[in-house]
Amino acid sequence: MLNRYLVVMVGLLGTALILPVGALAQDSAPLTWPDPVPNRQPVAEADKKPAPQRSLVGMWGSRLGNQAKGVQLRPNDGTPGDPLPFTPYGLELYESYRPAEGVPPRAVPPAETNDPRTLCEPLGFPRINHYDLGVQIFQDEHKVAILYNYDNPWRIIWTDGRSLPTLVEGGVEMDGQYRAPRWTGYSVGRWLDDYTLEVQTVGTMPEDRVWLDNTGRPISDQVRVTETFRRLDYDTLEWSETIDDPKMYTRPWQTMQIPMTLQDGRTDAITRYCSPTEIEEYNRIYGDAASAR
Amino acid sequence: MRSRLVIVFAAVVGLLTSVSLAAHHTGATLLSEESVTMKGTVESWLWSNPHCLLSINITGEDGEVVKWVLETQAPNSVYSAGYRSNSFKNGDEVTVSFQSAANGQPFGRLSSAVLPDGRQLGGRGRGAAPQGAGPQ
């Protein structure tokens, strides 16, 4: 009797172990390493599908994401436009920054720049939104996690209803406790509807550590950043950003409104990183001499 | 104070808008507008961030050999244009199209390259990163 019982148990256990593997094997497509194409063209209108509700999950890229000459909506490329509403302090900082991007004479050769990026300092937030923007987004019932392609930073947006920390001198306060500023700040998000997530961020790094963009616009730790992620359809996510930084600008202004295109989720992205050694080698072989005036 | 700030700001705006349209700035380098096509011998190929670099020896009309250094964008940007870490071998005879540095030095921005076997990297139709696109 005992032996028969054992045989049945072993049989059941074996079946349980084998079945999922078999089922998985039947469902799986051949496993490959597709070529990285991080900027797939937008999907044709006829091929568009409805967006899933309350989901930003996916790998997203955009041909507008580079923003090499400053934030997308206010490029610093010499074209006429409304001047930014600098405060006196903001303008003073702007004039002290020497970017290697943009247009000369403001843009300087690599050897003369004081962009913290060239030391491989973290870009910080929101500059990570303005630098070769491409991301992977994951989420669960508590949060949205954004993994950025460049230098692999990541940030968490809490969507569980917690309140935004209060900005205080040199950091933030939450639940009666002080917290230090950090490179990606503190973010909370709330769904305005089934397809729109609004995100507020405070508690970012001070102006002696970070820039707003490649052309040396300033940003301070007193900024409040509002982002809107709007899922327009299955393949398109519109990512907007407005900054309110009374230390640097006299009024809030919008920096970007970028349509992100859903990429092939199997793409194994090529690493984009900042290496002090490689930057030094690049400048030695090319950068300094090529850009000498 | 306010009027001084306005003057300073106007000066900054003036400087920004006085840039010659005959040249533009991409990354750190001021480039000439014209693209040239030349043949040469590969000396080295550096697959690296922030930008890849191709060093190539080109014989001029006067018979003098000049080493040119041509940059592309970063590996993740130029991958879709066909470039790979082993695209060029030292000694390869290749044809390159590029914009040269405006300062007259033998540097430039590579737009496309034709390999010894006839394959083309970059250029139209190969998904090359547009000017100013890709990592800086």
Nearest-neighbour CA in chain B from A199: distance (Å): 26
Strands A177-179 and A171-174: antiparallel
- Whether residues B111 and B55 share a domain: the answer is yes
- Whether residues B22 and B84 share a domain: the answer is no
Among residues of chain A, what percentage have pLDDT more than 70? 88
Are residues A292 and B1, on separate chains, in Cβ contact within 8 Å?
A: no
- Whether residues B42 and B56 share a domain: the answer is yes
Most distant CA atoms of chain A, gap in Å: 93
Give the model's pLDDT for residue B58.
Answer: 97
In a domain, B133, yes or no: no
Residue A109: name the closest of B72, B31, B27, B11 by CA: B27
Nearest-neighbour CA in chain A from B72: distance (Å): 11
User: CB B121: neighbour CB atoms within 10 A?
Assistant: 23
The whole-chain average pLDDT of chain B stands at: 76
- Whether residues B20 and B82 share a domain: the answer is no
pTM above 0.90, yes or no: no
Quote the number of domains for chain B. 2
User: CB A44: neighbour CB atoms within 10 A?
Assistant: 8
Strands A236-244 and B120-122: unpaired
- Whether residues B23 and B41 share a domain: the answer is no
Q: What is the CATH number of the domain that holds B60?
A: 2.40.50.140
- Whether residues B74 and B101 share a domain: the answer is yes
- Whether residues B113 and B52 share a domain: the answer is yes
The whole-chain average pLDDT of chain A stands at: 88
Q: What digits encode the pLDDT tens for the residues B22-39?
A: 233 345 467 788 899 999
- Whether residues B87 and B114 share a domain: the answer is yes
In a domain, B58, yes or no: yes
For residue B135, give the DSSP letter: -
Identify the residue with better confidence: B110 or A5.
B110
Residue B91: name the closest of B58, B131, B44 by CA: B44
A-chain residues near B8 (CB < 8 A): 91, 95
Give the model's pLDDT for residue B23.
Answer: 33
10 Å CB burial of residue A252 (0-12, 13-18, 19+) is middle
Residues listed for chain B: 136
- Whether residues B25 and B65 share a domain: the answer is no
- Whether residues B25 and B86 share a domain: the answer is no
Domain boundaries, position B78: 36-122
Q: What digits encode the pLDDT tens for the residues A21-60?
A: 434 444 566 777 877 666 677 778 888 889 999 999 999 9
B-chain residues near A119 (CB < 8 A): none
CA atoms within 13 A on the CB side of B114: 7
